[in-house]
Structure 1
């Protein structure tokens, strides 16, 4: 039996997997839960959240926002960045519209959150009503452009609002979350759905990467993934919130509009995750895990960092005897990477 020796102080799992060619992997997943205060001080949470093995949804699975994304993935080529929370007007003062910005290192996304509006029909046709004031707005895809109409749905966000095949009735709602550079002005507009959260696997664009599960797959490939499965399926963040190369773990963070107390500014802990892999035969091998998922939960003053490394097994899972996971400082990693060889 393969054993994970977790010396990180974080939660960890070792998940078996096979690729389309039948090769075995042991995927090491380490998840840290950190707290951040209003002064930007970061500390390790006394209770570490468990590794999440399946998406947790706001409502109906696959047709509602993801409130906790699955940590089970074989491989991610870039760091996914997500935020689960609310837009908060400053000091509880009501606003009709406000910007919300998420910045992590080189990645920055800015959205406009607008109070409830509807389409109004007048002599000049359809127009947009005045926005209603709000103090708190959920940052979920249910509040972004999308939805369904007349047996047709917006495949990038079937949970959303504002998608129409024909001109809507007076009183039909508009999205609350928009891209400030592509605001809706006509009922026929089809902007890209906007948000900071994670995208379910059966929504586009992730759905296009899952591969072909047809009769030929059943007869020739089951239970392995299809040969046209694309690892981009595992990238669950909004396409604008991915960082390549991976985040290292010491980047500056700024979250604006997600706390009633004002902007949150802090830096990620300067840590990396190393692995020592002992195969059944041979000396231990040193590996580095990639920081491939970062999730902010400002309502709870915390965030998650997830590191991952898929270990290829020579023949079968049991060829890996033990994997020891331990943290190292980024300064140490940088010295090692610049040391003479």
Structure 2
């Protein structure tokens, strides 16, 4: 199929061969806006499509995907100056997600001999990164363990090895032995309803940045009541963690991000109508495809958002048949 792009936006067609001589073509277009005064304005520099398969999070061209993700990169800021704690909130329609950011803390011995978090240090900003969320990898020392009766009894030698928190290997705060917890760092981004109190707490890691492709939280899409649910498979390729993954984001949906701009400024806008459409002609048949909003990527520092639009069509391969696709601007395309 020949693809032409009649817009100034970064766009691509990705064909994918399937069984029975059929092909599914995915059409992608990205548009970058400035966010100002609760409105969107076309940015002077348009951000490219993310099609590098080596990215640590899902790229734009993931084939099996039928959801909308909302991500934000940048920093969590106190409302003014420096603080020990601040909160970022992302609201999409009537659904919201909050993250509490703390200054640096470590585990320390309390008066009673137990472990308690130290007072957080004051900060000017905390990076919205999965490295600051709960998780991590620890080095486990070699040891001898006793085997249960079901394993024949006796003892076994376990060599030195790494042990990690499967929901977020990149984070910090994961500890497997209280004896080695002292002076170890706690996460700086926490779920407000799962604040860490004990060294062996295992909270849900939270962050608005793109979620690693291998993160264990993705299992929530397909694992329910101890059973595999195939119907959620298309959600596995969402760029966001499940908390900010949506079945769809309709035009007019209000999106608001608070706590990630200096001085308490909020970034607010409404999801626009599709600015592009794809006309597909296969043989003598023609079809106009209106794409769906696939990903909302907010760069809070720049005050910009990149919206990714996706459409797809499936067709059979017929020898010498003419196949064409053209990306065109719609009436919703921003002018000027």
Q: What's the TM-score, normalizing by structure 1?
A: 0.80
Match of 1:83 among 69, 72, 78: 72
Which residue of the partner structure matches residue 337 of structure 1? none
* Contact in 1 for aligned 2:14/2:25 (Cα 8 Å): yes
Which residue of the partner structure matches residue 115 of structure 1? 103
* Contact in 1 for aligned 2:21/2:316 (Cα 8 Å): no
SS at match of 1:231: helix
* Unmatched 5+ stretches in structure 2: 141-161, 223-229
* Contact in 1 for aligned 2:267/2:303 (Cα 8 Å): no
SS at match of 2:11: strand
Q: What's the TM-score, normalizing by structure 2?
A: 0.81
Which residue of the partner structure matches residue 195 of structure 1? 207
Which residue of the partner structure matches residue 214 of structure 1? none
Which residue of the partner structure matches residue 305 of structure 1? 307
- Give per-residue Cα distances to partners, 1:92-113, cap 9 Å, x unaligned: x101111100112233211111
Which residue of the partner structure matches residue 34 of structure 1? 33
Alpha-carbon offset, residue 164 of structure 1: 1.1
SS at match of 2:301: helix
Which residue of the partner structure matches residue 24 of structure 1? 23
Match of 2:238 among 217, 235, 238: 235
Which residue of the partner structure matches residue 87 of structure 2? 99
Q: Residues 69-218 of structure 1: matches in 2 within 5 Å?
A: 70-91=59-80, 93-124=81-112, 125-149=114-138, 150=140, 151-167=162-178, 168-206=180-218
Task: Measure, in 2, the Cα distance between the counterparts of 1:112 and 1:138.
Answer: 12
- Give per-residue Cα distances to partners, 1:239-265, cap 9 Å, x unaligned: 011222x21233222111000042222
SS at match of 2:280: strand
* Contact in 1 for aligned 2:218/2:241 (Cα 8 Å): no
Q: Structure 2 vs 1, CA of residues 21 and 194 (structure 1 numbering), >3 Å: closer, same or farther?
A: farther
Task: Measure, in 2, the Cα distance between the counterparts of 1:295 and 1:108.
Answer: 16
Task: Measure, in 2, the Cα distance between the counterparts of 1:18 and 1:209.
Answer: 26
Match of 2:288 among 279, 286, 289: 286
Task: Measure, in 1, the Cα distance between the counterparts of 2:44 and 2:64.
Answer: 29
Which residue of the partner structure matches residue 4 of structure 1? 3
- Aligned length, in residue pairs: 300
Task: Measure, in 1, the Cα distance between the counterparts of 2:214 and 2:20.
Answer: 24
- Give per-residue Cα distances to partners, 1:269-328, cap 9 Å, x unaligned: 33353221011x112112221111111001011111111122212127996622122343
* Unmatched 5+ stretches in structure 1: 211-226, 331-341
Which residue of the partner structure matches residue 257 of structure 2? 255
